[in-house]
Amino acid sequence: MVGQTRAHRDGHTGRCCPTSSGQSATSAATHVIMDAQGRWPCSPLTSNVAEGGVFLSTRGDESVPDCQFEMAPVMYFDEGLSAPFDHALTIATTLLKPTSCGRVTLRSARPDAKPRISHNYLTTGHDRTTMIASVRAGDGYLQAARSDEVAACALLHSGIRRGSGVVAFIEQRTGTNYHPTSTCAIGRVVDPDLRVFGTEDLRVVDASVMPSIVRGNTNAAVVAVAEKAADILQGNRPAEAPHFA
């Protein structure tokens, strides 16, 4: 890691609601549904967990989303490191275009030394305002659900509707969404051909070369960067744009 500026999909804040029906991705009833869909006997682990998602704007801008909801038919918390203790539905909201930037720096000259990583989550007013609005929106969707299908979870929802309560909730339950980018951004660390400034025969080809993070998931963008790098290394000329009469 040779760069310091770091954009990160921060603010992966989740809310869990126990289901009164006792059904989730860990229940026997769900196995029956998966069997009907042709996904059994592969087991619930064939699910990507985030079975539903939506991009939306908390500011009412229909052309540019600023947050993403991911819905999971299972109790997901603590980054999946803790076992679910109930059947539940989870909604997690993610800040898409954070203005807060972290840093990645070297700890020492040893190649096996772990880097120093500072996330700097939610350090700007823009990010905090967007996250508060998205958490309240997600909570509103859960509250609008039929009461016989989703039971409100007092443990995770108490205080969200109060100003100080939602801030405390975000502080306690925000984590990474695993989309770090921009530590080796084009123009700052590498040139347009992805060569590291001040070195020879060294290029960087991954999400770190993005000048800023994309609003969507980073996978497709990284594939595009890799395909472009392959063309550069092979000396392929860029395809000419078609001309229409």
CA torsion angle for 189, 212, 206, 96 (degrees, to 10)?
A: 160
How much is the pLDDT for 201? 92
Q: Is the pLDDT of residue 40 over 90?
A: no
Give me the half-sphere count of Cα atoms (radius 13 Å) on the Cβ side of residue 213.
25
Q: What is the largest CA-CA distance in the chain?
A: 64
The tokens for 221 are: 């963008």
Q: Is the pLDDT of residue 1 over 60?
A: no
pTM over 0.85: no
Kindly provide the residue ranges of all beta strands, DSSP E only, lying in the chain, ordered along the sequence.
5-6, 13-18, 52-56, 67-72, 88-95, 102-105, 116-118
Confidence of residue 194 (pLDDT cuts 50, 70, 90): very high
What's the CA gap between 149 and 170, in Å, rounded? Answer: 26
Mean pLDDT of the chain: 79
Q: Terminus-to-terminus CA distance in the chain, angstroms?
A: 48
User: Where is pLDDT greater, at 7 or 32?
Assistant: 7
Residue-wise pLDDT for 103-114, tens only, equals 889 999 999 999
User: Where is pLDDT greater, at 193 or 237?
Assistant: 193
What's the CA gap between 172 and 27, in Å, rounded? Answer: 28
Helix axes 163-173, 125-144, angle to 10 degrees: 100
Q: Is the pLDDT of residue 178 over 80?
A: yes
What's the CA gap between 175 and 119, in Å, rounded? Answer: 10
What's the CA gap between 5 and 33, in Å, rounded? Answer: 46
- Low-confidence winner among 12-26, 56-70, 101-115, 231-245 (lowest mean pLDDT): 12-26
What CATH number labels 5-173? 3.30.560.10
What's the CA gap between 51 and 116, in Å, rounded? Answer: 34
Which residues form the catalytic set?
A: 179
Average pLDDT over residues 182-197: 95
User: How many residues make up the chain in this entry?
Assistant: 245
Q: Is the pLDDT of residue 126 over 50?
A: yes
Q: How far is CA 149 from CA 17, 31, 35, in A?
A: 10, 18, 22
Confidence of residue 229 (pLDDT cuts 50, 70, 90): very high
The tokens for 245 are: 């009469």
What's the CA gap between 238 and 233, in Å, rounded? Answer: 12
Residue showing tokens 């909604």? 91
How much is the pLDDT for 171? 85
- Low-confidence winner among 45-54, 86-95, 160-169 (lowest mean pLDDT): 160-169
Classify burial at 209, counting beta carbons within 10 Å of its beta carbon; exposed 0-12, middle 13-18, buried 19 or more: buried
What's the CA gap between 86 and 129, in Å, rounded? Answer: 31
